[in-house]
Structure 1
Amino acid sequence: MAAPTTEGSDRETGETLLTLHRSGRLAAEYPRVRGLLAGCSEAELRRAGNLLSRLRPEDVRQAHPGVPVVSVAVTGHGTLAPLVPALTAELARHGLLLRPHLADYDSYVFDLSDPGSTLRRFDADVVLCVLDPAVVLDELPVPWTPEDVERAWDEKLGLLTGLVTRYRSTGRGTLVLNTVPLPALLPAQLLEHRSRARLGAVWRQANSRLLELAQSHPGLVVLDLDPLVAEGIAVTDERLSQYAKVHLAPPLLARYAREVGHLARHLAGRTKKALLLDLDGTLWNGTLGEDGFDVLQGDHSEPFRFLQRVVRQLGSQGVLLGVVSKNDVEPVRAVLREHPRMVLREEDLVTVVANWRPKHENIAELAGTLNLGTDSFVFMDDTPAECGLVEAELPGVTVLRAGAEPAHHVATLLRDGWFDTLVLTTEDRARVEKYQQEVERRDFLQQSASVEEYLRLLGVRVRLSPVAPSEVARVSQLSLRTNQFNMTLSRLQPADVARLVAGPATSVLVVHAADRFGDNGLVGAVFLRRAADVVHIDGFLLSCRVFSRGIEQACLGAILRHARAAGATAVVGEHRRGPKNGAVRDLYPRHGFRQVTDDGTTTVFRHDLDSEDPLPVPAHLQFTDQCGGDTP
């Protein structure tokens, strides 16, 4: 799934980065790098990574404190230095800054098992334990048989299972393993075809067991390298493997780094939420205004039907789908509803926008309707002028240029994992329906005489309760995906949430909401900690779908009442500034807290619990408090 590029764009990128590097301005101009790397070839990305990896992360942070930093520790069996530049470039493509730690050669056992190791003290967001064929091959006798390979794999898998268990018991970051591709030179050493088949079965069974580790260990990710090798990438470079112990070829390490970049983007809270598609030439192969229902006729329609199948598959997993087209709306709806060859249907879509306005205006308006930032959107169009205009007017939108060959549309859509997530929850699968309900709520608001009448007739019902074990993954996901109402920019893995639940002085509360239009599900979380006679709100998250309905006031009031009943003298909350959570910076002062400190990044507020009922439940809202004694 290589990106379409031009030699000219590569040359321009390389020259610009080299000029910035030589002039010493690369750190100061770091926000430009994301745009410069867009559409670069893999060769140019490798060159860019070599330049960018020379930057000191602290210099970039000093110039741009708002740039998200992802700390990544790299360990494994072989030499992994070539991976760092590739990771640097891949994170830069997504507007992130890499803070790397490269462990010593073949130190992964000590790194993961010893809490005092340098890697563990680095306290990375992501720990990469890179596995290569030599992990097994170095354990084989000479001569060897498939049974020797099986024994070596059994021992290695036992070791890895123990390392994962020990690391997850105390480590914070997401641990990443990978499957191990079978190098062609190994089965070639067996002269009997039956023995080769046995070796292949042993190797694949071992990789299957590696992949299954992720099912039983929350916080572990196992990347499958077989699909990458299937793209034609060599597993090893024999010269580098034998002379330098680089046991995975640099192009494979680069593709591995791309997958890690997708993961890092998700952990930094930059997962995309919605996919918007053009119609003519993108989702179907004709022009509706000229061809009518013939837009999906003939053999040439198959690539478009394939794209529709893939888009519908994404939508079934919680990606919000919509179309934005320059067309008349009724013919568009007719095709979506009635065309016998359409795979994607109107009911799969959150919205259908078809008019003759500029597309960037429609996208901006849709963002307001769905209460999403424009940087939550991926937009795909086959017209370069439309793509360029959206990029210029809405730089937060990720624009995918569907080229002239429709058979490549799916690869263009999927190559960067824009919607990847660690865990898929029940709420994900119901997200499209919930946002369709949100559009109905907006229509209802417009028909109401006032906001007060809207809220009264909406019939909001809220339940605050301790988190259940089955809800831990959803709470983690909320922390990773929520940017607007995220008071402390908390980014928590499922294991982090579980530790807070189990802690003697900490607790996690969840917020459920519903109204006349349906059940919103689990829409918020509050992280509490008791220190002496003060209750600290270490995090407060609320989905953008339920803003401005009084839910935050009801929940804060319950926390204050519980703190008072538990003998606390104050409740303290924080707002940590981020690029998107400015709208809630006055949440605490609006609800009776006073400012205590402000260091330029984080503002601390305090409520002294000096009134009997400091924050009543809004009159329009039905509130159920199920916390009991489960708050600190």
Structure 2
Amino acid sequence: MSVERVAELFRAGRLAAEYPLVRGLLSAADGDGLRRAGHVLERLRPDDVLREHPDTSVLTVAVIGHGTVGTVVPVLTAELARHGLLMRPFLGDFQGYVVELGDPGSDLYAADPDLVLCVLDPAVVFDEVGVPWRVDDVERVLGEKVRLVERLAARFAETARGTLVLNTLPLTSHATAQVTDHRSRARLGAVWRAACSDLLRLGESNPSVVTIDLDPLIAEGIAVTDQRQSLYAGQHLSAELLARYAREIGHLARHLAGLTKKCLVVDLDGTLWGGILGDDGVEGIEVAGGYRGRAFTAFQRTVKQLASHGVLLAAVSKNDLGAVREALDKHPEMTLREDDFVRVIANWRPKHDNLRELAGDLNLSVDSMVFADDSAFECGLVRRELPGVAVVALDEEPALHAARLLADGWFDSRELTVEDRSRPRLYREELVRKDFLDSFASLDDYLTSLDVRVRLEDAADTHVSRISQLTLRTNQFNLTTRRLQPADVQAFAAEPGRRVLAVRTSDRFGENGLTGAIFVRVVGEVLHIDNFLLSCRVFSRGIEQACLLAVLRHASAAGLREVLGTYRPTAKNGKVRDFYTRNGFVSVDGGADGGVDRAADGGVDRAADGRADRAADGGADGAAWFRHDLDEIADPPAHVRLFDGLAVPETGGTAS
């Protein structure tokens, strides 16, 4: 019914205007429904949606490969729409992936894609081994193909700014059955898996690459190929496998658009354990014992594993807090304990109100939350009141809880950093800070006692992944919300006259880690601040002012004439719209006096310097500019101790 509603909106000419509804309409759509919705959505022009909803994230996605891969485009369009994203597709030529990736002047690179899906299939090998073939022949061709892909990936890293997605090659029974002795079959499997292992490891040496492992998807019972489609149409992977692959790409696209979820909020009764705590007591709830108890324990283990990867874990339950704490801390077979949660909320208030309050306490948007509950009523209420929250509807079958939670990869990211693993601890400390604040009569007294320490330094190579992650995950204190991959950060820092500054913070409660970044470049006598972003955990403590003023002082010491800052408004960064004016800058009209022009603001000329301009694109989407003449630079907040590790910036950089 929801899919039909999408078609109705399109026929009525209202789909662009109502595009935000599509995410909810497709949230529970199955494979066939997504394909049908995709055929409708791919007829919708992204520009029509952007006129109605300019904050909608849009990604250019190129699909190339060895065989016919165009059937993935409709379902991929629908998968992105499920997450509120728009897709501009680019479809490569049949068997054209080598030319398209290998030629810097190809149409692929001209399309400037955010994602390039190079869909590989077993025929890329077996089309070249000849007949008859032996395992040695397969091993030789596999090696040649892996080395070819490595060279193409290196060319992509040198030429493009986006992410190249590869995949492992499924080994089919059709291939193994043509080898009649089991020793040779075993060796074929070994050399095949070794080649796939090389593809999976390619991202370790090339940060532009992500490799999707198809084996876990096939293990779900999906057919690898349809022989008729393979022979007659050159589509060597089945439509079902391509659709499941598209779901994985949807998760990656959501992450690249900065929409990765951060906090998992779970119900307790019927979700983490069986029974009703208030009726059955701590001894009577189902955990570990019995077949249902084992299912609830398996779900708790899954949740604890996610928390170990930096997912914030909270509980919201209609229960008495004392009984909940007793269950979590005293039940001998409980896997999750209260210390595993950043907050446990147990009361009789509406859950959507508790979620709003929790988001405020954690300084997160409710859009960063995933809510899992076995009550259809509670799930429906949260969907209605907080549409930005991802709702995972569970039911009375606990054996399926984990699969339903994991199905949409809500917390997927490209790389796990040290800060990720520390995130739950850091947020628990943040809640201690909030309680500490409540004990003071004034904010000034609190900040003075907090003993805020900031270190501003040039970003090192070891900081690149974390800074990229900040651009992808930070929305509120992010002055331009430019999403950058690690290669984009590296490219910006490598350009003459450009620097990426890292912000590290700590206080009386401990280290906060790398919590911010500033992108700057010198053009003649002007220092441009192309972006400034700070984790929501630490802003509003004077850290942002101290760092900005340090940048101004360095610009003055280098003999520069002025500093220009860029702000690009989005739906979530409105609280920093006056950041520059509150710190001594004045608003300027872009291009009015020649100080801010299309070249000097880092305008997008990707043919010349695509990657660096990805970070410096301050000239579009309603961006505003602010100027500081460096005549009077304010003193930093007295309660912040700044450790300045920056060298005096060099002058004379050139505009892009």
**TM-score with structure 1 setting the length:** 0.96
Equivalent-residue separation in structure 2 for 1:589 and 1:480 (angstroms): 26
Residue correspondence of structure 1 range 165-180 to structure 2 within 5 A: 165-180=154-169
- Select 1:320's aligned residue among 308, 312, 316: 312
Structure 2 CA distance for aligned equivalents of residues 188 and 369 of structure 1: 59
Q: Counterparts of 2:642 and 2:180 in 1: how far apart (Å)?
A: 73
Partner of 1:400: 392
Name the SS for the 2:349 alignment partner.
coil
Secondary structure of the corresponding residue to residue 443 of structure 1: helix
8 Å contact from structure 2 (residues 3, 34) kept in 1: no
CA RMSD of aligned residues (A): 1.2
- Deviation readout 1:174-199 (Å, 9 max, x if unpaired): 11100011122111112222222221
How much has 1:597 moved relative to structure 2? Answer: 2.6
The aligned residue for residue 590 of structure 1 is 582
- Looking at structure 1, the residues matched to 20 and 348 of structure 2 have their Cα atoms a distance apart, in angstroms, of 34
Map Cα deviations across residues 76-118 of structure 1 (whole Å, 9 max, x no partner): 1111110110110000000000011111111111111221111
Displacement of 1:455 in angstroms is 0.6
CA deviation string 1:484-527 (max 9, x = no partner):
00101121111111112222111000111111111111110000
1-side partners of 2:483 and 2:558: how far apart? Answer: 28
CA distance in structure 2 between the aligned counterparts of 1:405 and 1:377, rounded to whole angstroms:
23
Which of 520, 532, 546 is the aligned partner of 1:554? 546
- Mark the CA change 1:467 to 1:600 in structure 2 (over 3 Å): closer, same or farther: closer
Q: Which moved more, 1:182-191 or 1:472-481?
A: 182-191
Equivalent residue, structure 1, for 2:8: 19
CA–CA distance in structure 2, aligned partners of residues 368 and 305 of structure 1: 30
Q: Which residue is equivalent to 1:512?
A: 504
Q: CA deviation at 1:417?
A: 0.5
Deviates more, 1:338-347 or 1:259-268: 338-347
User: What is the identity, as a one-letter code, of the residue corresponding to 1:359?
Assistant: K
Letter paired with 2:622: T
Spell out the pairing of 1:146-161 with structure 2 (5 A cutoff). Answer: 146-161=135-150
Which residue identity does 1:402 align to in structure 2?
A: L
Q: Where do 1:241-260 residues align within 5 Å?
A: 241-260=230-249
Percent identity for Structure 1 against Structure 2: 58
Question: Separation in 2 of the partners of 1:136 and 1:66?
Answer: 44
Q: Are the equivalent residues in 2 in contact too, given 1:556–1:615 (CA < 8 A)?
A: no
Are residue 580 (structure 1) and residue 572 (structure 2) matched? yes
Q: Secondary structure at the match of 2:413?
A: coil
Q: Is the 8 A contact 1:573 1:606 kept in 2?
A: yes
Q: CA deviation at 1:214?
A: 1.4
Shift of 1:555: 0.7
Q: Report the 3-state secondary structure (helix = DSSP H, G, I; strand = E; otherwise coil) of the residue aligned with 1:587.
A: coil
Q: Corresponding residue for 2:631?
A: 610
8 Å Cα contact 1:273-1:377 kept in structure 2: yes
- State the Cα distance separating 1:609 from its structure 2 match: 1.3
- Which of 88, 107, 131 is residue 96 of structure 2 equivalent to? 107
Counterpart residue number, 2:654: none
Secondary structure at 1:544 match in 2:
coil
1:259-299 superposed Cα distances (whole Å, 9 cap, x missing partner):
00000000000000000100000000111011112212433
Q: Is the 8 A contact 2:554 2:649 kept in 1?
A: no
Q: 2:650 and 2:642 mapped to 1: Cα distance?
A: 17
- Asked if the contact 2:498–2:522 (Cα under 8 Å) also holds between the matched residues in 1, the reply is yes
CA distance in 2, matches of 1:14, 1:417: 22
Matched with 2:58 is: 69
Aligned to 1:141: 130
Do the aligned residues in 1 keep the contact of 2:292 with 2:399 (CA within 8 Å)? no
Amino acid at match of 2:319: N
Inter-CA distance 317–600: structure 2 relative to 1 (3 Å threshold): closer
In the TM superposition, residue 631 of structure 1 has moved relative to its aligned partner by: 6.5
Whether 1:622 aligns to 2:614 is no
2:444 aligned with 1:423 = no
Q: Report the Cα distance in structure 2 between the residues aligned to 1:363 and 1:63, rounded to whole angstroms.
A: 29
1:534-545 aligned within 5 A: 534-545=526-537
Tell whether 2:556 aligns with 1:564. Answer: yes
Amino acid at match of 1:89: A
Counterpart amino acid of 1:519?
Answer: E
- How does 1:112-261 map onto structure 2 within 5 Å? 112-261=101-250
Cα drift, residue 630 of structure 1: 5.0
Mapped to 2, the partners of 1:122 and 1:577 lie a distance apart of 26
How many pairs were matched up?
619
Paired letter, 2:487: A
1:452-484 superposed Cα distances (whole Å, 9 cap, x missing partner): 111111111111011111111111111100000
| Structure 1 residue ranges without an equivalent (≥5) | 1-11
Alpha-carbon offset, residue 600 of structure 1? 7.0
> Which of residues 271, 291, 305 in structure 2 aligns to 1:282?
271
Counterpart-to-counterpart distance in 2, 1:328 and 1:178: 49
